Chain A
């Protein structure tokens, strides 16, 4: 198991992404952050904090649980159902530019589910994808707009993002199957 990002690296990376967001969107007008449960939510909240420090504006921030949209939900004849958690998007996403936030981008299936879920909330002007780590091995035609770190991995490797809020410590770990 190796540490591929430590706390300081994660912090600097999120600051850099916040600046990229402002640059690319020419400000923060009409922006809103939606984090994918669980760790995407915390990353989204940190980005909102940084964006406020940079621009002085509060960005509406929500959380999305994609469980009910998973494409493997009813594929197995019998199996325990995954836990569903609350989705909280306390603002209208109509005509907003939604910054969708996840910790790791892998097959792209979670992002696909999140896109379907978001569209059920309204008609955003655009959706941009932010991920802390892109580990490759896409199974769907999905690409991130902002990437914290590109991490080439073997299929059998596992990438773990640990955050202060959920795990008591900020770090990204790579386990098994090093590049």
Chain B
């Protein structure tokens, strides 16, 4: 699969996403991933126009249903929906009837009764999107479910890498941080290994999921080995809110052993990219000098998130395979 930055006339192997939902990266093929990334390139250009809006999803209704706090992802989805001319509404849990005891199934049934076309769901329970996809006619887009998957984050990471490096195959990608609680890690492992990248995952032994090596990655607690000759270093947030036990002695000690500093980065390739899905804990998983330094593409990731989500929304608006329409 060639993954050039601009494919002008080449027709990709897969030209449509024939599925109802985007629940995770696990069930996407490499060709479908390439299609999403190629479409995102076209969508990125839309965001640079004087009028940053196209009529593609005119008349479609998208509900952003967020059961967990999120600024970046929710804003990114909302901008993406608006740039495609969809009608959007946001439901944040704190102000909804969920606080009055309504179940997810009942909330979904009530939202469906208003006939939306797509529901973007963020939920603290792994599998919430799969559940919703079974009970809803609407397309479900996973915006992060528990510790399971966060597919659009992995797609925007891949887009950002491909934009700089031309392709994903053959790159060494080191993912360092809280591996245990990270849905971003799971989606990224699926995506990067499917596309042929060489993935290293690194963190304290207590935060490395058991049997992670079965997913085709190299686990280690030696941060210098992970960073050595890396093309991409991706830092994951230490998720204190998901930690119920003591996984390491202190944040200061974590930083001393695993925190990404300029000195530690010297072992990586000279054109290494530093990535972080945000929000960052400066001085914990990443030093400010690195976060704001010349190798950092952290804000490019945020910018690219809009383009990637536009691509996903557009491609899913066609619906699943049945009823082939010309």
Residues of A within 8 A of B (CB): 38, 65, 67-69, 73-74, 76-88, 116-117, 120-122, 165-166
Contact = CB atoms under 8 A, between A and B. Distances in A.
19 contacts: A67-B56, A74-B56, A74-B317, A78-B319, A79-B319, A80-B16, A80-B318, A80-B324, A81-B317, A82-B15, A84-B42, A85-B8, A86-B41, A86-B45, A116-B55, A120-B50, A121-B51, A122-B50, A166-B9
Given A77-B323, A78-B325, 12 more contacts: A68-B55, A69-B54, A76-B325, A78-B323, A79-B318, A81-B17, A83-B35, A83-B39, A85-B7, A87-B45, A87-B46, A120-B49
Nearest to B52: A120
Contacts of B319: 77-79
B82 to A, nearest CB: 14
Contacts of A73: 55-56
Nearest to B16: A80
A8 B182 CA distance: 62
By size class, the interface of chain B is 35 or more
A122 B51 CA distance: 8
B53 A120 contact: yes
Interface in B282-325: 311, 314-315, 317-325
B53 A86 contact: no
B12 interface: yes
Nearest to A93: B50
B43 A79 contact: no
Nearest to B51: A120
A72 B165 CA distance: 36
Contact of B60 (A74, A121, A165): A74
B322 A78 contact: yes
B124 interface: no
A74 B58 contact: yes
Contacts of A165: 9
B101 interface: no
Nearest to B321: A80
B9 A74 contact: no
B59 interface: yes
Nearest to A113: B55
A28 B11 CA distance: 34
B6 interface: yes
Interface in B22-75: 35, 39, 41-43, 45-46, 49-51, 53-60
B54 A81 contact: no
B39 A84 contact: yes
B194 interface: no
B228 interface: no
A78 B42 CA distance: 23
A82 B60 CA distance: 17
A86 B17 CA distance: 18
Given A80-B15, A120-B50, A120-B51, A68 B323 contact: no
A114 B17 CA distance: 25
